[in-house]
Structure 1
Amino acid sequence: MPPLRDANGAVTNWVGFQQDVTARKRAEEALSTERDQYELLNQIIRHDIRNDMAVIRGWGDQLRADLDDDQRETLRRVMDAAVHTQELTEEVRDLTEILGSDDPALEPIDLGAVLTREIEQVRSTFEYQADTLSVDGPGDLPADLAVRGTPLLSSVFTNLLDNAVLHSDGGAVHIDVSVAVGAETCTVRIADNGPGIPDAQKRAVFDHGEQGERSSGTGLGLYLVDELVTQFGGRVWVEDNDPRGTVVCVDLQRVR
């Protein structure tokens, strides 16, 4: 506000305001402390769940050699559930990270290295299905093939590869990973021979909490994929595979 003046125009008084923000600052500090406590609890729970699931999978691997075919199928379902539970803890961690960052710092990511690592990881994760699982990689890619992203790009392909195995219909699973390199973008195609996704659900599967007709999951995985790819300036969509199955396409921006 302007100062108060007398009849001669001389300043006689100043008017000011002050506001006590002590309560607000205390509330902000309490909220920050509560958020830190929840994050610590989140980390502890994820750690304990991962450890317990690792024990289940370890004992399951030892049992496998002593079972007949019917019993092995039952064990496969148990092991799939253990893998899914472990993956859920990673999805929660990654969602917590991306939801807390509106503007992630993008950097060049070696696409070939990420795909190689994630393909080896899915083979290792589902080693108990080695007799019925095959995963073909994209072959040789340009050594300097980089895309815009963050280290969470690996979570995109972890989720897509794991989904291709977990949502199969129980027979032999074949996954083919290919890359089409364009001038400005790279399109990664992950094709499987599973039951496929109806046309009406091809976009909806990326919505928060959406589950496919055969899925018993939380619907977080593909939502996470869509959120991450969008943050990277790319896009993701679903096509039909021939003669059956699904192809998930991930289009990413190249770094030249």
Structure 2
Amino acid sequence: MVRHDLRNNLQVVSGHAEALADHVDEAGRESVEKILHNVETAVGLTRSARDLAEVMLHDSDAEGAFWLRPVLDAQIEEARATSRNASITLAGPVPDVRITGDDLLPSVFRNLLKNAVQHNDKQVAEVVVSATERDEMARIQIADNGPGVSDDRKAEIFGKGEMGLESDGTGIGLYLVKTLVDSYGGTIRIEDRADRNRSGSQSQADENDAEGAVFVVDLPLAA
């Protein structure tokens, strides 16, 4: 009920801010954009709070099988609709496989996409998603053109409450992702796009001289 009321109030704020956009000068439009950005962040917080509450009550035996492509498509489309100044693309075909998960599976991809946009320092955040099948696992890679993640933070960034130095997030999104991926019997790690290119292991989610981070998620195929 609290989440519902908060989202309703945020929608009212967002609607009034958008209505004001055509009636203010350049400086005013910048303020409107900041209002809308913070509204989007707050809406994301209500969703993360809901998902975290569900994870705390998560039944690890209540797992099922989900087709990978529809889940990925839905989260990419949602991210495109809610992310300003972001280019989010799907590179190459998605294997026709089912993966192990539960009703919170979409939250894994939603939070990774949100993280790739929210912590990006470029004028246009470029996010590329790709998926492959190997060794009874589905590998999903989400690459961005942001500042990357330093080696000393690659593991600790998945800890509860961990945030980047310039983050305006809550620090629970990646913790939520790691908790869910672990519960599904999968793994998640962070790689540097530049290192992958130099080693010759780049995938469709990489480009020559690319910078940024690649979040690599391996999830077991459903029986």
1 CA distance for matches of 2:92 and 2:22? 33
Q: Does 1:251 align with 2:208?
A: no
Q: Does 1:164 align with 2:119?
A: no
TM-score (norm 1): 0.75
Other structure's SS at 1:91 match = helix
Partner of 2:86: 133
- Give the direction of change, closer, same or farther, for the CA distance of 1:102–1:142 in structure 2 (3 Å limit): closer
Among candidates 112, 136, 147, match of residue 69 of structure 2: 112
Q: Does 1:238 align with 2:195?
A: no
**Larger radius of gyration, structure 1 or 2?**
1
Q: Is the contact between residue 192 and residue 212 of structure 2 (CA under 8 Å) also seen in structure 1?
A: yes
Among candidates 125, 132, 146, match of residue 173 of structure 1: 125
Other structure's SS at 2:6 match = helix
- Once the two structures are TM-superposed, the CA of residue 67 in structure 1 deviates from its matched residue by 5.7
Among candidates 98, 116, 121, match of residue 78 of structure 2: 121
1 CA distance for matches of 2:141 and 2:26? 33
Higher RCO (C-alpha under 8 Å, 6+ residues apart): 2
Q: Is the contact between residue 64 and residue 102 of structure 2 (CA under 8 Å) also seen in structure 1?
A: yes
- Once the two structures are TM-superposed, the CA of residue 253 in structure 1 deviates from its matched residue by 0.4
- Once the two structures are TM-superposed, the CA of residue 66 in structure 1 deviates from its matched residue by 5.4
Among candidates 14, 37, 40, match of residue 83 of structure 1: 40
- Once the two structures are TM-superposed, the CA of residue 50 in structure 1 deviates from its matched residue by 1.0
Q: Bigger shift: 92-101 or 202-211?
A: 92-101
Equivalent residue letter for 1:169: D
Other structure's SS at 1:161 match = helix
2 CA distance for matches of 1:68 and 1:195? 32
Q: Is the contact between residue 193 and residue 245 of structure 1 (CA under 8 Å) also seen in structure 2?
A: yes
2 CA distance for matches of 1:65 and 1:241? 40
Other structure's SS at 2:164 match = coil
1 CA distance for matches of 2:30 and 2:221? 43
Q: Bigger shift: 102-111 or 52-61?
A: 52-61
- Once the two structures are TM-superposed, the CA of residue 233 in structure 1 deviates from its matched residue by 0.6
- Once the two structures are TM-superposed, the CA of residue 45 in structure 1 deviates from its matched residue by 1.4
2 CA distance for matches of 1:190 and 1:74? 31
- Give the direction of change, closer, same or farther, for the CA distance of 1:199–1:76 in structure 2 (3 Å limit): farther
2 CA distance for matches of 1:115 and 1:194? 21
Other structure's SS at 2:221 match = strand
Counterparts of 1:1-256 in structure 2 under 5 Å? 44-64=1-21, 71-126=28-83, 129=84, 132-143=85-96, 145-169=97-121, 171-242=123-194, 243-256=210-223
Other structure's SS at 2:100 match = strand
- Once the two structures are TM-superposed, the CA of residue 64 in structure 1 deviates from its matched residue by 4.0
- Give the direction of change, closer, same or farther, for the CA distance of 1:184–1:78 in structure 2 (3 Å limit): same
Gaps of 5+ in 2: 195-209
Gaps of 5+ in 1: 1-43
Q: Bigger shift: 179-188 or 241-250?
A: 241-250
TM-score (norm 2): 0.85
1 CA distance for matches of 2:30 and 2:150? 27
Q: Is the contact between residue 95 and residue 133 of structure 2 (CA under 8 Å) also seen in structure 1?
A: no
The percent of aligned pairs where both chains have the same amino acid is: 38
How many pairs align? 208
Partner of 2:202: none
Q: Is the contact between residue 95 and residue 132 of structure 2 (CA under 8 Å) also seen in structure 1?
A: no
Q: Aligned-pair RMSD on alpha carbons?
A: 1.9
